[in-house]
């Protein structure tokens, strides 16, 4: 069988689908402790209650609760929304992919900010739709006016990310309300709030309030980041019942294992501790940004558990400088994203940024 014959099995839309590139592992450097700061993982140890739930492994021969009833009940109480306004999936990524499947097909368009989460163009293209990325502003924020301008009669889905990955900037509440006044009611707006627990901006958009207010808004959150459960794969969506009903058709049955459900419930029961830990990460983040600015870096003020270093064409060189110091950071379009890590990891990063700036100051 020839390669050409095999290729004919696949949909033409696959040609436009970019590959998702996960964060790199740190290099092994003799005498140095490696630190992975490339995937926005929580560097704090798991909560004891989470470890206890993980130790109680359900019978692997049995299917998980297909309705995730205990988890949805816990989320309903926590979020103060009815059960039929909530669904869960294997991380926010599965939910966003499912939202694309229920809205996007050939001839339709998806509008999203760029740079932002790399899944957005992937899911739009995989469903045969057309991507309409809208560049961020000079201050690395969503250009909501330009995003509204990009909406056409073919637009079915808009995705916003607050705080934005990778720049960390948040959408302001008033700006979002003005944006929604321009969005047609037959366009679904997704608010990706994967990092909302780290946000300390009092003027930032509250996605939960928006999901309760607008019939065409879906809030997507995750247990991966602040809860420190990225390996467990649990995310959730909040929207009006007609949206949730459609979304449940596209999420794979049993995609959230029983162990994952049980662990998420245990973590949700410790949500006050989770939020307190998130604010401690945010405080360390703000100190990190202050140190970078003292060195002369013009970095945006982030609201997530990472910092964006705008480097332009020097991003690859900076990544290499980090590799030499057993640090893994994430090189993306126009810069490098540095996840918050242990204090000693951040101190090592600051040594790299200081040396790099002295070596390349004339081009930054």
Percent of the chain with pLDDT over 70: 97
For the chain, the straight-line distance linking the first and the last C-alpha, in angstroms and rounded, comes to 52
Give the pLDDT confidence of 160-207 residue by residue, as tens digits: 999 999 999 999 999 999 999 999 999 999 999 999 999 999 999 999
Q: How far apart are CA 36 and CA 34, in angstroms?
A: 7
Handedness of CA 130, 135, 136, 142 (dihedral sign): negative
What pLDDT is stored for residue 30 in this prediction?
86
Please tell me whether residue 150 adopts helix, strand or coil conformation.
Answer: coil
The domain made up of 3-45+273-363 is a member of CATH 3.30.420.40: no
Average pLDDT, whole number, for the chain?
Answer: 94
Cross-strand pairs, 160: 191
**pLDDT bucket at 6, cuts 50 / 70 / 90:** low
Tokens of 114: 């760029």
State pLDDT tens for residues 239-277: 999 999 999 999 999 999 999 999 999 999 999 999 999
Supply the pLDDT for residue 97: 96
pLDDT over 80 (residue 227): yes
pLDDT of residue 360: 85
Q: 126 vs 64, which has greater pLDDT?
A: 64
Confidence category of residue 118, pLDDT binned at 50, 70, 90: very high
Q: Where in the chain is the domain with CATH 3.40.640.10?
A: 48-271
Residue 145, exposed/middle/buried by CB under 10 A (0-12, 13-18, 19+)? Answer: middle
CATH class of the domain at 48-271: alpha beta
The structure tokens 């405080």 sit at: 283
Intervals of CATH 3.90.1150.10 along the chain: 3-45+273-363
309 SS3 class: strand
Residue 5: predicted pLDDT: 56
pTM of structure:
0.94
For the segment 120-138, the average pLDDT, to the nearest whole number, is 93
Residue 363 has pLDDT above 50, yes or no: no
What pLDDT is attached to residue 58? Answer: 93
What is the pLDDT, as a whole number, of residue 361?
Answer: 65
pLDDT at residue 7 is higher than 70: no
Nearest alpha carbon to residue 48 among 313, 213, 274 = 274
The answer to whether 199 touches 69, Cβ cutoff 8 Å, is no
């Amino acid at each position: 069988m020839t390669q050409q014959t095999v290729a004919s099995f696949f949909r033409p839309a696959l040609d436009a689908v970019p590959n998702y590139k996960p964060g790199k592992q740190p290099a092994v450097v003799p005498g140095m402790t490696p630190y992975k700061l490339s995937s926005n993982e929580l560097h704090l140890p798991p909560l004891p209650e989470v470890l206890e739930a993980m130790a109680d492994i359900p019978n692997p021969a049995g299917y998980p609760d297909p309705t995730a009833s205990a988890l949805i009940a816990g989320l309903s109480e926590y979020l103060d929304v009815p059960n039929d306004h909530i669904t869960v999936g294997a991380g926010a990524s599965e939910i966003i992919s499912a939202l694309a499947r229920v809205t996007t097909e050939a001839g339709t368009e998806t509008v999203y900010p760029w740079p932002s989460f790399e899944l957005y163009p992937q899911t739009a293209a995989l469903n045969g739709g057309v991507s309409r990325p809208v560049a961020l502003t000079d201050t690395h924020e969503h250009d909501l006016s330009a995003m509204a301008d990009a909406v056409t009669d073919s637009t079915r889905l808009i995705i916003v990310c607050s705080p934005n990955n990778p720049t960390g900037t948040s959408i302001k509440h008033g700006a979002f309300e003005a944006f929604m006044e321009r969005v047609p009611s037959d366009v679904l707006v997704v608010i990706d709030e994967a990092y909302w627990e780290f946000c300390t901006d009092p003027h930032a958009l509250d996605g939960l309030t928006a999901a309760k207010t607008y019939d065409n808004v879906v809030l997507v959150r995750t247990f991966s980041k602040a809860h420190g459960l990225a390996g467990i794969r649990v995310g959730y969506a909040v929207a009006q019942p007609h949206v949730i009903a459609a979304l449940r058709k596209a999420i794979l049955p049993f995609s959230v294992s029983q162990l994952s459900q049980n662990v998420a419930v245990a973590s949700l029961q410790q949500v006050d501790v989770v939020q307190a830990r998130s604010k401690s990460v945010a405080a360390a983040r703000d100190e990190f940004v202050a140190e970078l600015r003292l060195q002369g870096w013009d970095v945006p003020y982030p609201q997530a558990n990472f910092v964006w270093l705008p480097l332009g064409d020097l991003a690859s060189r900076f990544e290499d400088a980090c590799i030499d110091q057993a640090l893994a950071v994430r090189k993306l379009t126009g810069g490098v994203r540095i996840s918050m890590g242990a204090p000693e990891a951040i101190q090592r990063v600051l040594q790299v940024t200081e040396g790099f700036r002295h070596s390349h100051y004339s081009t930054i």
